[in-house]
Amino acid sequence: MKRDFLSMESWGQERCLALLDLADRVKRGEIPGGLERKIMAMVFMDPSLRTRASFEAAMFLHGGHGIVLEPGKGSWSLETEPGAVMDGTTVEHIKDAARVLGRYADVLGVRTFPRPGAWDTVRQDHVIRRFAEYCEKPIINLESTRRHPCQGLADAMTLREQFRGDPRGKRFVLLWAWHPKALPTAVPASAAISAAMLGMEVVIARPDDYELDPEDTALVRQLARDNGAMIHINNDPDDALVGADAVYVKSWGSVKHYDRPEEEAAMRAGLRDWRLTGQRLRSTRGGKGIVMHCLPVRRNVELDDEIIDGPTSVVVDQAENRLHAQRALLLEMLRSA
Ligand code: CP
């Protein structure tokens, strides 16, 4: 049976931690080759810099090849709804695209951000799940509505590096930050899952009405508990950051207001003071809490230049670790394929 990589929790904590060990070895240059004559096809229904470049580089570095498709920009625009009467703008159904790409490639990566609608429906993450259903080859989630597991792996790898292999008990603060757009919750949910899998004390600092999807919060709580740690929810950024060992700055939209974007935007407009300032950073442990962000970042909006470029920022290490974590993932998924 094929094994998709749709989320870290579906892959399993033990296997994720084993991937991180493999990623460390890959990063040290201990594992050459391994993907000779393997093909990864990637469907980017939304833009990317890191995910696309790092997967293409990963395939090349191990002797394989990556094919990138951007529906609507050089490849056909894709219909995602089952049973759709395709007399509109979409030209090809994902059922056909997934089945055909499965004949060319050994693994298929898909990026598909959330679309407008009712959160109860959108949260089902139908598009990535349909690709997984239709494609005979394993699927890698390159960021969907609910999860960005490749980012989560790289974040976990970075946290282990920063805390000498054992971040257990360290205080990880996921800090909501103001942003001009209502962004998806895939990255913050995945980051919190990573920290909980590592046994870190997880603090989710967000304004009222900006809770993550309750199922995600419950999952983080369960993972933290399983690993002997705690989760705290805090609506005061000053209080939340005191003693933090790691601060993950991230914006996301209110899922409670998902289908009322004007109302959400009006609410968000009053939250510009939710950001990591120099003063807040000084309140972290020894004033040296590491600063994380998945990138891309709106400089001097989410984070000031002096913080992103400062001595405790690890944002570029996180981005580099995307490459190594994904090399490990591809080796694990494709070596025996
Ligand atoms: N962090 C991340 O996924 O970056 P891209 O959107 O550029 O791929």
Query: 44 and 189, same structural domain?
Result: no
| Domain containing residue 169 | 149-318
1 inside domain: no
Predicted local distance difference test score (pLDDT) of residue 335: 83
- Count up the domains in the chain and report the number: 2
76 inside domain: yes
Question: For 152-173, what is the mean pLDDT?
Answer: 97
Model confidence pTM above 0.95 = yes
Question: For 13-34, what is the mean pLDDT?
Answer: 98
The answer to whether residues 254 and 264 touch, using CB atoms and an 8 Å cutoff, is yes
For the chain, counts of helices (H) and of strands (E): 14, 11
265 inside domain: yes
**Residue in the structure block whose two tokens are 């951000």:** 113
Question: For 328-335, what is the mean pLDDT?
Answer: 96
- How many Cα atoms are found within 13 Å in the side-chain-facing hemisphere of 136? 10
Helix (H, G, I), strand (E, B) or coil at 45: coil
Whether 294 is in the pocket of ligand 1, judged by its Cβ within 6 Å, is yes
- Find the helix or strand (DSSP H, E) in which 248 lies: strand 246-250
> Of all protein residues, whose CA lies closest to atom 7 belonging to ligand 1?
49
Give the whole-angstrom CA distance, residue 73 versus residue 92.
Answer: 13
Kindly report, residue by residue over 166-213, the tens digit of the pLDDT: 999 999 999 999 999 999 999 999 999 999 999 999 999 999 999 999
Q: Is the pLDDT of residue 337 over 70?
A: no
Query: 306 and 161, same structural domain?
Result: yes
Q: Give me the percent of the chain exceeding a pLDDT of 90.
A: 99
Give the whole-angstrom CA distance, residue 101 versus residue 92.
Answer: 13
Q: How far is the CA of 50 from the centre of ligand 1 (A)?
A: 5
Query: 211 and 176, same structural domain?
Result: yes
Give the residue from 197, 217, 83, 200 showing the smallest Cα distance to 146. Answer: 217
130 inside domain: yes
The answer to whether residues 243 and 284 touch, using CB atoms and an 8 Å cutoff, is yes
132 inside domain: yes
> Of all protein residues, whose CA lies closest to atom 3 belonging to ligand 1?
51
Kindly report, residue by residue over 295-327, the tens digit of the pLDDT: 999 999 999 999 999 999 999 999 999 999 999
Q: Is 1 exposed, middle or buried (0-12, 13-18, 19+ CB in 10 A)?
A: exposed
Query: 13 and 97, same structural domain?
Result: yes
Predicted local distance difference test score (pLDDT) of residue 34: 97
> Of all protein residues, whose CA lies closest to atom 1 belonging to ligand 1?
294
197 inside domain: yes
Q: How far is the CA of 34 from the centre of ligand 1 (A)?
A: 25
Candidate of 143, 248, 249, 293 to mutate for ligand 1, largest count of ligand atoms within 8 Å of Cβ: 143
Q: Is the pLDDT of residue 336 over 80?
A: no
Give the whole-angstrom CA distance, residue 229 versus residue 321.
Answer: 25
92 inside domain: yes
Kindly report, residue by residue over 28-67, the tens digit of the pLDDT: 999 999 999 999 999 999 999 999 999 999 999 999 999 9
Kindly report, residue by residue over 258-301, the tens digit of the pLDDT: 999 999 999 999 999 999 999 999 999 999 999 999 999 999 99
194 inside domain: yes
- Relative to the CA of 47, which ligand 1 atom is closest? 6
Q: What is the CATH number of the domain that holds 329?
A: 3.40.50.1370
β-strands 78-79, 201-205 pairing: unpaired
